[in-house]
Amino acid sequence: MKTIFFLLVFIIGNSLCIAQPVIQVEKQSFVNVGKSGYYWQDSLGKASFGEVEQFKATRFLKGTSSIFNGGTSGKVWWMKLRFKRNSQTIPYLFIGYANIDSISLYYRDTKGNIKMISSGMYNLKESDALLGTGYVFPLQQVKAPVGDIYIKMQAMNTLLVPVKLVTESVLNHALIKAYSIQLIYVGIALMILIFHIFMYIITRSKLFALYIARVILLYYIVMVCYLQGYGLLLGPLVAKFILVHAHFFIALGYICTILFNSHFLKLKRQLPQLNKIFTALMIGWSIVLICSLWDARSLTNILTQALFLLTSVLFLFSSVQVIIIRGYAKNNLLIWCYVLGWIPVALVSIYLVFSLMAIIPFQSYSFNLLTLAGIVEGILISLGLFGQRLKLLSRHNAHFRRQRILLHEQMLGYREQLNQKNEQPAEQLSLKDLTALAQSQDPSFMKKFRETEGQFIAELLRISPQLLLSELELCAYIRLNFDTKEIARTCRLSVRAVESRKYRVRKKLGIDGETNMQAWMLNLTKSS
């Protein structure tokens, strides 16, 4: 009885494998047909089309996802598809992913002869039918009404193969629609980039410089030129270089992003322990960067996926900790956009890593998720940065207002002292006596100096009302012909501190670098 049962199961299973689904090209919309395909891994990479064509159906694995995921092992895979068409229809095979090292299409024509078309990043020729972000192969010579095609493919990076079998009219309409959406994404990203360049020119803040580096490296080079395949439009050599060293640009982009996030959130002060974790992540990304230069793509694939997931999640965690829990954005809701910006990046990173690891199936929309998340992140992060600049500007304005109030009160005090001196004639001392007071570090020196040189003090304040008390004292020493070392010794300051104070006084009084300050101070009351 058991023998009969197993025999029935074997016959049913074998019949299901042999009865491969036939794709109706005339009625097929622009969707991936991965589930209709059958796959076999050529571990040695030496199998010929003649050998694969003779395989029994049981040697092939049935497709389980709309997009075939061949992993990161660099193994050779074969795909088998069966389709049906009428004699008047020309079907097209479109592979909507450009980052395949090599791809070869095999089929038998109406006369039974073997036809082969080779393409891929390492086999690009001027005669290849290349459509920006993928490859297109006309299949007019495949025998009708039912024909079989075999696709041999290999990629050292992740082998993802979205395959579509469509007619020419469906292909043209769908590509125009898809490219239009991609152009909109690129346009939005360009506006974000221009905004940050403009803000960097105005502020010279390294925050904007680091985010500019992130946009260029991770969006334009990785997402647009690498993942979407637009590097092919820059030429095969450029596209191949980006393919081979893609992890270099990814690693460099994430190093810049870690520095950007740490600087924005001030992690060294706010979360020192988490800052150490980000430092370790930077070391990890540096290892990826170095390995990618030697084209060690099998190793860098694994490291990149792990670091990509961990880094993206920690970006969200650190922003929540600092901005929400520690109240960094308490009085500025725009800074909350910084937290919101990392949410889609973290969620998409989890989804993509699980998809690439084949834990969950890779879907047709997965290719656009990372681009869409990047656009949303760019808009929200830009708003968060703008909110932070507004917060800093308001803080600086408040500081300047306090300084103006203090200076105004200081001026009123000086005027009151001058009025009192005019009402009550004070004892006049000679410059020699004032010099002796200064050298002895007498606490009453400045009081005696104001009483004796009131006109000099008044003239200084007229020229520059923002002069501080310490700067007025410096002017008094200079008028008494004290050199820098004597002033430093008398005021118990370093020579460098006195020179810095002299520089500020020159700027406030409008004294150029070639003018002798002591002579200028002596001639001040004479010229007035």
Question: Which tokens in the block code for residue 399?
Answer: 């500081």
Q: Band the pLDDT of 525: cuts 50, 70, 90.
A: confident
Mean pLDDT (whole number) for 503-522: 85
- Position 178 pLDDT exceeds 70: yes
Mean pLDDT of the chain: 83
* Nearest-angstrom CA–CA distance, 265 and 338: 10
pLDDT of residue 467: 84
* Nearest-angstrom CA–CA distance, 349 and 309: 6
Let me know if 308 is exposed, middle or buried by CB neighbors in 10 A (0-12, 13-18, 19+): buried
126 vs 169, more confident: 169
The bridge status of strand 23-24 relative to strand 76-84 is parallel
* Nearest-angstrom CA–CA distance, 326 and 321: 6
Mean pLDDT (whole number) for 501-505: 88
Q: What is the pLDDT of residues 418-448, one digit of tens each?
A: 666 555 554 566 667 777 877 887 777 888 8
pLDDT of residue 418: 63
Residues 98 and 229: beta-carbon distance below 8 Å: yes
Q: Band the pLDDT of 388: cuts 50, 70, 90.
A: confident
pLDDT of residue 211: 94
Q: What is the pLDDT of residues 102-112, one digit of tens each?
A: 899 999 888 88
- Position 287 pLDDT exceeds 90: yes
- Position 399 pLDDT exceeds 90: no
- Position 7 pLDDT exceeds 70: no
* Nearest-angstrom CA–CA distance, 453 and 521: 11
13 vs 125, more confident: 125
- Position 155 pLDDT exceeds 60: yes
For residue 468, what are the contacts with CB-CB under 8 A and spacing of at least 6? 410
pTM (two decimals)? 0.69
CATH class of the region 19-171:
mainly beta
Q: Band the pLDDT of 396: cuts 50, 70, 90.
A: low
Q: Band the pLDDT of 224: cuts 50, 70, 90.
A: confident
* Nearest-angstrom CA–CA distance, 437 and 190: 67
- Position 309 pLDDT exceeds 90: yes
Mean pLDDT (whole number) for 462-479: 85
Q: Band the pLDDT of 8: cuts 50, 70, 90.
A: very low
* Nearest-angstrom CA–CA distance, 333 and 438: 55
pLDDT of residue 312: 93
The bridge status of strand 102-108 relative to strand 114-119 is antiparallel
Q: What is the pLDDT of residues 367-378, one digit of tens each?
A: 788 888 989 999
- Position 282 pLDDT exceeds 70: yes
175 vs 321, more confident: 321
What one-character DSSP code corresponds to residue 63? Answer: P
* Nearest-angstrom CA–CA distance, 117 and 100: 15
- Position 476 pLDDT exceeds 90: no
Q: Band the pLDDT of 151: cuts 50, 70, 90.
A: very high
